[in-house]
Structure 1
């Protein structure tokens, strides 16, 4: 349903670019729900089971991802980060963003999902997580074409690539 709404909003010329891209303060939660849904959908494909999320507003995570595997119900706190488009913050780099993750010292169960919303190429083999970052996992999420997404991670454990189409109703 989110995709249908996105397409409708994109066609409304009278809306500002900030509204169409969910970049207003009032739409921040909607943008985070969308990012959580995209990340959990991709993880569902990778884990071959439904991964759901529950939004939270904690200092060290934005939502809880949850899934059932055999007799175990998993709960994982996830922090969303974003490498925003250059026109919004040209001084921010992926390296600076990742370095900032060292502030989550008391969060060894935390998974971080970083949305790459910049033009350009990304080389996963050159990507390093500093030793000062102590989280359970780091994943990178990017749009790689019309209705195509890629999740790369986990850069803390074993790196793999998950490519998927945007879910359609």
Structure 2
């Protein structure tokens, strides 16, 4: 059986037993978590959440890039159009983790400079090798974005060995 067949089979089981037709477009906790692609760090699982409680944006390293900011601004407009403004009362949580794969390419300016949309000289400020410093950098970038004004922003680091999160930047 290939992956697609497996996914379709599991979807059929989900549709027959677990779908919740009462879920709304707005996350129940009015929160968005920005996290890493790494399958060890699925935000809904490591934070003990139920379906529909948060929205999740995932990318390489869970980093806040110009593209991530544009996605958040677009989501704010979607929320406004759905009459549930992504503003006061909402949270954005940046979730990085230990042993992140992005560290393995921290010397690849050719990949990282375009990803962060900065010149190679600006890459040290992105703290690619240090998840705690990277969280602080990313939270600062979000807080500096005027189009996200009114949203509480915080940052966590998840330890892939202990399974625990640590608050790096409080809301």
TM-score range, shorter chain: 0.3 to 0.5
TM superposition score normalised by structure 2: 0.33
The answer to which structure has the higher helix fraction is 2
Q: Flag the structure with more relative contact order, 1 or 2, with Cα contacts below 8 A and sequence separation at least 6.
A: 2
**TM-score with structure 1 length normalisation?**
0.33
